[in-house]
Chains A and B, each alone.
Chain A
Amino acid sequence: MAIIFQKPHALTDAVLHYCPGCPHGIIHRLVAEAIDNLGIEGRTIGVAPVGCAVMAYDYFNCDMLEAAHGRAPASATGIKRCRPECVVFTYQGDGDLASIGMAETVHAAARNENITVIFVNNAIYGMTGGQMAPTSLPGQVTQTSPYGRDVNHCGWPIKVCEMLSTLEGPEYIARVAVNNVKNVKAAGKAIQKAFQNQIENKGFSLVEVVSACPTNWGMTPQKALEWVESDMLPYYPLGVYKDRSAAKEAEAK
């Protein structure tokens, strides 16, 4: 019998610990498919964050490092500089990448460090039980913004792609979402491109995946995906924010 659909080889058989309705499973799968498609599992080294994806090291079949909170781009830099022949990626949430680890993120991008960063933005701290994230929307109710995020008190959300694309350094900055089939397919393509760029030594490639957190948003999975469409995407527009190689090609034409 012909196999028409199966788990990517780059994923282990471990059962994911994520909550029902959590898109981390989809995003793991997209990363694993990219690794499979490019045939790079044997030379890929992943770096897991602190946050919901902290145990990602059990889910990917490639060699894995568990980094300190926010430091994945620094540790990935250490690995990549030692083993340039390997493909090195980080998988980080919004608190990890855009709050405690912002310095590491910005400087890895500024160095055009030849790594791939998968940035999952679900506008909340999931693992610790739903606190305000650097990407929580104005007015968003969380455990630590129980009256809604007051921007006069605690500032505005950080738009990571917009900010990083102002830097000379990075090669590729894109924002995708996984709230419907069409967006999932586009997300898969962007993630694979971010790996392909590294293989071609083009440099720092970051894909922000706008995701959902039904548990901590206090919504059904269905409602959460609707909220992504209605509230998240207007604030975090999808698209390619920077693609140096494409820009160069366009210029050449």
Chain B
Amino acid sequence: MAERVLMKGNEAIAEAAIRAGCRHYFGYPITPQTEIAAYMAKKMPKIGGVFLQAESEIASINMVYGAAAAGMRVMTSSSSPGISLKSEGLSYIAGSDVPAFIVNVQRGGPGLGGIQPSQSDYFQATKGGGHGDYHMIVLAPASVQEMASLTVKGFHLADKYRMTAMILADGTIGQMMEPISFEDAEVETYEKPWALTGTGMKRPHNIVNSLYLKPDELERTNFARYEKYKAVEENEALWEEYQMEDAEICVVAFGIASRVAKNAVADARKEGLKVGLIRPITLWPFPVAALRRAADQVKAFVSVELNMGQMIEDIRLATECRRPVSLCNRTGGMIPSPQQVLEAIREAQKGVN
């Protein structure tokens, strides 16, 4: 096994991206993700890559669009308000079917909000954000090690499906240090015959474009894209189950909330409560099958979120409201304590007794 080193979550993303073959980074400073840019600024010039600080979030996502259209593994990173600005570009990238990789180290919102950890961009990440019918693959790491492994996976999935993969992290996972080891895995590469490389006078010109003025043509394009999304939903959902074997209450949480929830589940087990945890690792595609199965087994769900209740809607949809789902949440940069989650578990248990 590779040596364990201590690294911040943000730095782990940057290092993993480089190991995944990313040589182009375009970004704009914003807390709490700035370590990614700093790491790239230091490393890229030494390995023949490009780090460029753009004049705005908008410019940086459009630089990503250009580089992605040129067939390169490219990324940008930001935090909540910056992602709002990038959302226009994300829509164009989706509409042009080019692969891109983006990181959102979330902070509290709306507006300028705060800089403390949050999960309040769940809707924005999983339901669109920009205009039009589209999806991004959304990966939610819960540890520094996963910041790295899901980054590598994100680049891979982006190329495989020609779409955007997003890491949806939060200030805690971005700022904390944990031991991490980088496995030297082979970087998977993909043919990109659609890319803008110059025709070399050997082929018809390639056009990367999201404009379809004929509605029937645009509809066909959208239908085809949703066939692709269907394949992603069928093949790429990821989740972790913890103590679910005999669970009667199922806690659902992702990212930092899942770590707090895990402590609470362990505490609840000590009290004899039959509780388990499902941790979605992909938020889109949402692990619908796992939730549906759990609904056959458990009596109630508790959604633990750092927002006003966003993922809870997907839990209700996945389980078709067959079981009660309660919300245990903090927002604005606050994080629930294990005690608060334990209380919510007890309440849920009372409700089904």
The interface of chain A, by Cβ under 8 A from chain B, is: 12, 41-45, 47, 54-55, 57-58, 60-68, 71, 74-83, 85-86, 103-104, 106-107
CB pair B67–A81 under 8 Å, yes or no, is yes
List 10 additional contacts besides A67-B92, A74-B63, A81-B50; criterion CB under 8 Å: A42-B201, A65-B207, A66-B96, A66-B209, A67-B66, A68-B88, A78-B24, A79-B67, A81-B67, A83-B70
Cβ-closest chain B residue relative to A69: B88
Residue of A nearest to B73 (CB): A82
Question: What is the total of A-B residue contacts with beta carbons within 8 Å?
Answer: 135
Cα-based distance from A41 to B197 in the complex (angstroms): 11
Chain A contacts for B55, CB-based, 8 A: 103-104, 106-107
Query: Given the complex of chains A and B, what is the CA–CA distance between A83 and B50 in angstroms?
Result: 11
Nearest opposing residue in chain A for B195, CB measure: A63
**Are A64 and B197 in touch, CB under 8 angstroms?**
no
Residues of B within 8 A of A (CB): 24, 26, 50, 52, 54-56, 58-60, 62-72, 74, 88-89, 92, 96, 196-202, 205-211
In the bound complex, residues from chain B placing their C-beta under 8 Å from that of A103 are 55-56, 58-59
Chain A residue at minimal CB-CB distance from B58 = A71
Considering the chains assembled together, what is the distance between the CA atoms of A68 and B89 in angstroms?
Answer: 7
Beta-carbon contact of A82 and B59 below 8 Å:
no
Cβ of A16 to closest chain B Cβ, rounded Å: 15
Asked if residues B196 and A65 are in contact (CB atoms below 8 Å), the reply is yes
Q: Which B residues are in CB contact (< 8 Å) with A71? A: 58-59, 62, 65, 89
Residues of B within 8 A of A60 (CB): 205
Instruction: Contact check, B211 vs A66: say whether CB atoms are below 8 A apart.
Output: yes
Provide the residues of chain B in CB contact with A57, threshold 8 Å: 207, 209
Taking a contact as CB atoms under 8 Å apart, the answer to whether A83 and B197 are in contact is yes
22 contacts between A and B (CB under 8 A): A55-B211, A64-B196, A65-B209, A66-B209, A66-B211, A67-B92, A68-B65, A68-B92, A75-B63, A75-B65, A78-B24, A78-B26, A78-B64, A78-B74, A79-B67, A79-B70, A79-B196, A81-B52, A82-B74, A83-B196, A86-B197, A103-B55
Given contacts A42-B199, A81-B50, A82-B24, contact A75 B69 (CB under 8 A): yes
**With A63-B196, A64-B208 as contacts: A78 and B67 at CB distance below 8 Å:** yes
Q: For the complex, what is the distance from the CA of A6 to the CA of B200, rounded to whole Å?
A: 22
Q: A57-B207, A82-B72 are in contact. Are A63 and B65 (CB under 8 A)?
A: no
| Chain A hits for B59, CB < 8 A | 71, 74, 77, 103-104, 107
Q: Is the CB of A42 within 8 A of B202?
A: yes
**For chain A, what secondary structure do more than half of its interface residues adopt (helix, strand, loop), or is it mixed?**
helix
Chain A contacts for B67, CB-based, 8 A: 78-79, 81-82
Docked pose: A42 CA to B58 CA in angstroms: 30
A162 CB to closest chain B CB, in angstroms? 21
Closest A-chain residue to B89, C-beta based? A68
Specify which chain A residues have a CB less than 8 angstroms from the CB of B96 in the assembled complex: 66
Q: Considering the chains assembled together, what is the distance between the CA atoms of A54 and B210 in angstroms? A: 11
List chain B residues, Cβ under 8 A from A41.
Answer: 199, 201
What's the Cα separation between A66 and B98 when bound, in Å?
12
Residues on B with C-beta less than 8 A from A47 are 66
By a CB distance below 8 angstroms, the chain A residues around B207 are: 57-58, 63-66
CB proximity of B29 to chain A, nearest CB, Å: 15
Minimal beta-carbon separation of A52 from chain B (angstroms): 13
Instruction: Give the CA-CA distance A75 to B96 in the complex, in Å.
Output: 13
Cβ of B99 to closest chain A Cβ, rounded Å: 13
- Closest Cβ neighbor of A50 among chain B residues: B211
Which residues of chain A are within 8 angstroms of B62 by Cβ–Cβ distance? 67-68, 71, 74-75, 78, 104
Residue among A55, A57, A75 with most chain B CB within 10 A: A75
CA gap between A107 and B53 in the complex, in Å: 11
Check A66–B63 contact: CB distance below 8 A: no
Residue of A55, A62, A76 near B198 (CB, 8 A) is A62
Q: Are B66 and A63 in contact (CB under 8 A)?
A: no
| Contact between B198 and A83, CB atoms less than 8 A apart | yes
Residue of B89, B202, B206, B209 with highest tally of chain A CB at under 10 A: B209
Report the separation of the CA atoms of residues A41 and B200 in the bound assembly, to the nearest whole angstrom. Answer: 8
With CB as the reference atom, state the residue of chain B lying closest to A68: B92
| A173–B55 alpha-carbon span in the complex (Å) | 21
Whether the Cβ atoms of A42 and B209 lie closer than 8 Å is no
The chain A residue with its CB closest to the CB of B198 is A43
Q: Which residues of B contact A83 (CB under 8 A)?
A: 70, 196-198
- How far in angstroms is the closest Cβ of chain B from A24? 17
